[in-house]
Structure 1
């Protein structure tokens, strides 16, 4: 789920099967999709299939050039599996529709296995596009003497950086930035920005502190581990992130790990499989509605469903982990707050105002319509939700919006419901006293009970979280499995 950065405050929600929906600021979803590539995108209903539509990013100057970029799995000639990165444009006639005929393939990479496909696209503050690829799949990066990730001539297991605003001299539809770290190294692919990556799933650029701008431009990534550890990394130019020599802070391939020239960059945080088995990277919170969260890197685990946060100690440069309370009365002070999110945490998102969300599903299949979108709201916030967001730029609705229905309850909803229950009890007590026999003899009768008395308010459900209906009232949701 991403925004276009064009002031409209729209959300673009991509599903693994290859369809992208537009959600308006009021939460309603446009009936017709923004983009539908289901006939091209490669994925299956198999549980755990990691292929599909995996990444979407809008150009920093999207408002002017209407360009956006996509990352998806497909079949090439002779049915060779590939990942494809393409440029597309939005229709001139309808800002809520992509022009499918505008696709320009920028880069294709052969995939030797069906898993570890990477999938993140993002633009750095330098205006370049960063591409995060997986190591090629299977287990233990078994490709070649050192694996794909440690092989700088391979595009797999890498962070790539390219300039999509200019064409290359060799006919490529991108240019290699002249300051890429391995441009002059013999045998290395010039697009490589960092290496030693296993399968980074969800990366984000830090907006920086809203006042001091500290941290602005840092790129955080969650890198999925093999058998023992999951890790969070800060991406730096020319960095080696250790795989397959290391997994987290520990050795994986002992021979490679002892290599004196490894010089790898350690994670800022790693956790074992007792906590979770597949990290999903998140964002540093920089919004306005929940100032207590400012500076926290919020992320989760796909398999365990845990939500976590890292807080930086500026003096020691160490990061301390804490769990995020999600309405569990055993750990939250507010009584009666209803839990809980769906288990499989697929991804995180940030809106134009810097508020954070996460996406989760209750069934790990690309074709299962059981996905939900949840918004992070700090109940102790000093800013009322929705009061600090800029006024959205009007956007033409090219098709009918499907009304938003919240499945969850906020603290304010619960307080309001408690007040209504108290009012109904008072009303019932008053009605009972008015039906006294002495009053009835004077021609007074008991007031009929309200037809909604004693019922839950319309529009509220027991499930905490937010879900918007898709086609026929159900919304298919993309999900990402990790190997």
Structure 2
């Protein structure tokens, strides 16, 4: 099967009696926010899908004047619009920033703009330089996230082109720029240069490609403490996935359309699964989940207890998840009324999250003010490794049932009820690595890797 299967969290909900963070309302009045970033100062820049970029001051005040308005250049509908923003590493001296949008033909465009010479809060909309213009066959699956890596190259994630099931096989086609992570050098007199180290230069495949096999990676980020790229890829209809790979590792195939998460989807004509890199964590659509919104690993200082956790969200369930260093996911309770569309960092690496439906920006914190504030009580599964019986400590009085799933996705035990001593029988189950999924009657869940010996 795939690489790193033993570290994959197949079903990744943690039973939340309370959560270890809160959301503090930071700014309101935005329209369809889809990106939050900074320019190495204390302002936040919020990308609105309608083609406008707004600036938020440190006190949460939104500037009345737009930083940039290119609404006349874009298609704003469904998944299309102005989607990404990245500031050049030398922005303070050259004033360059880059945007990702769908133009009026629906194509993916990456373009460079400059800040105005007289006002740091307003860009010069006449300075556009087109970097990439990629035609798309369908409206959906655009990608949209762009970031500069530590080496100064620009990384760009593109969707597979749209429809369902990648009918044109773009993600696996190394000669297509769709369904890819692209890596380009924008410090050039022309549109861009190809950086040294791009894996397909001089061989089969487009020179711009760094990695491939992505469906619609709605948000990626860099964790520079561990030098990993964190990529959240939206699933077809059943599985959402999180990929975590070293920034320096090229030519990875993340598996789509051959696999959705860890599950075979359409393997016709696909390479061997052993050549693919599979996610470190996945979750299914139980509990109303539907679509992952990728975020960041927390590296700020204001909330030390959050240090090292990767924050992301599910758009439909309105929950925020966090992934720990063991690739175990914990879920918050639902933040009702918030369809989370993006996360962002400020210049101090504190985290923010935006809701596209109500135009609000929240700060993620452990302070005592917030939305849906609670704290959580963990559970314990033992022994692990186990044989004969597995015991669960920390259960509530609610009825619970157990599913046991193999790393290949096969349900080995289904809806097993716990005995009076809060244990269940695993006699006769083949030794190996499994995922235990505990479900309660109040629709909460807990999942953890279990080794049976």
The TM-score, its normalising length taken from structure 2, stands at 0.71
Q: CA RMSD in A?
A: 1.8
> Are positions 1:350 and 2:379 aligned together?
no
Pick one of 299, 302, 306 that aligns with 1:289.
302
Q: Which residue of 1 aligns with 2:199?
A: 181
Secondary structure at 2:71's aligned position in 1?
coil
Give 1:409 deviation, angstroms: 7.1
Greater fraction strand: 2
Instruction: Pick 1 or 2: higher relative contact order, CA cutoff 8 A, min separation 6.
Output: 2
> 1:196: which partner in 2?
213
Indicate if the aligned counterparts of 2:36 and 2:343 stay in contact, CA closer than 8 A: no
Q: Is the 8 A contact 2:293 2:313 kept in 1?
A: yes
1:2 aligns with 2:27: no
| 1:470 alignment counterpart | none
Q: What is the alpha-carbon distance in structure 2 between the residues aligned to residue 99 and residue 294 of structure 1?
A: 38
* 1:43 paired to 2:56: no
Alpha-carbon spacing, 1:358–1:51, altered in 2? closer, same or farther (3 Å) = same
Q: 1:27 aligns with which of 42, 60, 72?
A: 60
Q: Report the equivalent of 1:206.
A: 223
In 2, Cα distance between equivalents of 1:375 and 1:4: 14
Q: Secondary structure at the match of 2:186?
A: coil
Alignment of 1:147-296 (within 5 A): 147-167=169-189, 172-186=190-204, 188-208=205-225, 215=226, 217-235=227-245, 236-256=249-269, 259-260=271-272, 263-275=275-287, 276-296=289-309
Deviations 1:224-272 (A, max 9, x none): 0001100001244110000000000110013345x42761101010111
Larger helix fraction of residues: 1
- What are the superposed Cα offsets for residues 10-45 of structure 1, whole Å, 9 maximum, x if unpaired? 01111100011111111111111000111111013x
Match of 2:155 among 105, 111, 130: 130
**3-state SS, counterpart of residue 22 of structure 1:** strand
Q: Is the CA contact 2:153–2:185 (under 8 Å) kept in the aligned structure 1?
A: yes
Judge conservation of contact 2:313–2:319 (CA < 8 Å) in 1.
yes
242 and 379 in structure 1: CA distance in 2 versus 1, 3 angstrom threshold = same
**For 1:309-360, what per-residue CA distance to the aligned partner results, in whole angstroms no more than 9, with x for missing partners?**
11113xxxxx11112357xxxxxxxxxxxxx453311010111111111111
Which structure is larger by alpha-carbon Rg, 1 or 2?
Answer: 1
**Residues 379-390 of structure 1 correspond to what in structure 2 (within 5 A)?**
379=367
Provide the residue aligned with 2:134 in structure 1: 109
Structure 1 residues 410, 63: closer, same or farther in 2, change over 3 A? farther
Q: State whether residues 134 and 197 of structure 1, in contact with CA within 8 Å, keep that contact through their aligned partners in structure 2.
A: yes
Gaps of 5+ in 2: 1-34, 374-453
CA distance in 2, matches of 1:307, 1:118: 21
Aligned position for 1:142: 167
Provide the residue aligned with 1:373 in structure 2: 361
1:305 aligns with 2:338: no
Verify: 1:320 aligned to 2:320, yes or no: no
- Aligned equivalents of 2:322, 2:372: Cα separation in 1: 21
Aligned to 2:49: 16
TM norm structure 1: 0.67
In 1, Cα distance between the equivalents of 2:353 and 2:40?
Answer: 22
- Does the aligned pair in 2 maintain the 1:242–1:262 contact within 8 Å? no
- TM-superposed CA distance for 1:206, in Å, is 0.9
Distance 2:100 2:195 in 1: 20
Give aligned pairs, total: 335
Query: CA offsets per residue over residues 195-216 of structure 1, 9 Å max, x none?
Result: 00100001111131xxxxxx1x
Q: CA shift at 1:162, angstroms?
A: 0.2
Change (3 A) 1:373 1:341: farther
Structure 2 SS opposite 1:2: strand
